């Protein structure tokens, strides 16, 4: 593992530790301050980042073949984990629990860890492929997870609503799936992108500044959530989710991308290593948004980040043997 990647991982743990100290000593006051900060991230900083990203994507220059080979197994994994969790929905699990576990099993830390990893291991050409995937990463995975969880929430609301009509439930689902702090900025960004004009300089700088807050805020939130929620009772499912992310997902991506889409060389290595990344902090933001499995998701992020130190060299060795 290169020095650059090691230092990024070390910085992540230091910032998480800072968040844990802040939460443990209650420096930001009493009450669930982590949820307040999570709402700020979800309603202000993440939408700014998503809108700017989608508004600036050069759609014509995207490596669409590689992107399809990367996202088909990611979406397949998300739907499979969700389906299994939905089928064996345990008593007492929040309605959003299956969707939270599904997004945790596929959403990687593609920026803080992924970008320096791609640059160090695969050079400029590999970094370009990685950044192309990153530009659609949240758009595809968070939008899909949001649609799934909103359907579940609407279904639960309909079952408990007595005389609430199916049409009203469907309308509520559609409205909540579109007027949403993840989906709406993505849709607006794509509309702006297709309309043609570049973002005005002042707007672009404002969005860039807001979006830059996402990474440090999310890492601090992980530490605060550890302090607030602990990991009691969440360690085993968190470990399972971490193993799904670090071992099962990259294996699925390797099989589908290589033998299904005939992806080879640098492109194959980039998509497999992106899949092998630890769980990204947006999974916790998603969990806190729907008040489901926050402690488990926090533990899974920490465990997968620790485990990545051991699993990443194994995937690199396997890719090297595949040529």
pLDDT per residue as tens digits for the range 25-53: 988 887 778 788 888 888 899 889 889 98
Residue range of the domain that includes 274: 54-194+232-322
Which alpha helices (H) appear in 114-234, and where do they start and end?
114-160, 166-178, 183-195, 201-211, 214-229
Count the domains in the chain. 1
Left if phi > 0, otherwise alpha if psi is -120 to 50, otherwise beta: which for 262? left
In a domain, 283, yes or no: yes
In a domain, 215, yes or no: no
Digit-coded pLDDT (tens) for 246-299? 999 999 999 999 999 999 999 999 999 999 999 998 898 899 888 899 999 999
DSSP conformation letters of 230-241: --TTTHHHHHHH
User: Distance between CA 146 and CA 289 in Å, rounded?
Assistant: 10
In a domain, 275, yes or no: yes
Nearest to 49 by CA among 158, 134, 175, 148: 134
pLDDT higher than 80, residue 172: no
In a domain, 28, yes or no: no
In a domain, 23, yes or no: no
> pLDDT confidence of 206, banded at 50, 70, 90?
very high
In a domain, 2, yes or no: no
In a domain, 40, yes or no: no
Residue 221 phi/psi, 5-degree rounding, is -65, -35
In a domain, 261, yes or no: yes
Whole-structure pTM value: 0.84
């Amino acid at each position: 593992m290169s020095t650059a990647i090691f230092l990024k991982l070390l910085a992540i743990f230091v910032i998480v530790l800072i968040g844990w100290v802040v939460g443990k000593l209650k420096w930001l006051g009493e009450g669930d301050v982590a949820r307040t900060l999570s709402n700020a991230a979800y309603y202000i900083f993440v939408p700014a980042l998503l809108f700017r990203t989608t508004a600036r994507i050069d759609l014509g220059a995207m490596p669409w073949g590689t992107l399809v080979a990367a996202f088909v197994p990611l979406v397949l994994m998300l739907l499979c984990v969700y389906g299994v969790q939905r089928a064996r929905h345990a008593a007492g699990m929040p309605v959003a629990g299956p969707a939270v576990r599904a997004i945790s099993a596929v959403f990687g830390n593609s920026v803080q860890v992924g970008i320096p990893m791609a640059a160090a291991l695969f050079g400029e050409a590999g970094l370009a492929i990685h950044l192309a995937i990153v530009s659609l990463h949240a758009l595809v995975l968070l939008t899909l997870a949001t649609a799934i969880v909103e359907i579940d929430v609407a279904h639960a609301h309909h079952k408990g609503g007595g005389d609430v009509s199916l049409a009203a439930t469907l309308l509520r689902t559609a409205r909540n799936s579109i007027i949403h702090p993840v989906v709406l900025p993505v849709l607006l960004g794509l509309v702006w992108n297709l309309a043609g004009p570049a973002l005005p300089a002042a707007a672009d700088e404002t969005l860039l500044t807001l979006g830059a807050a996402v990474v440090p805020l999310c890492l601090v939130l992980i530490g605060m959530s550890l302090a607030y929620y602990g990991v009691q009772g969440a360690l085993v499912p968190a470990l399972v989710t971490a193993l799904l992310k670090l071992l099962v997902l990259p294996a699925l991506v390797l099989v589908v991308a290589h033998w299904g889409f005939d992806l080879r060389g640098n492109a194959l290595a980039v998509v497999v290593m992106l899949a092998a990344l630890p769980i990204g902090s947006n999974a916790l933001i998603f969990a806190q948004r729907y008040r489901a499995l926050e402690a488990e998701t926090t533990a899974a992020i920490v465990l997968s980040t620790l485990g990545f130190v051991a699993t990443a060299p194994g995937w690199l060795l396997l890719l090297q043997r595949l040529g």
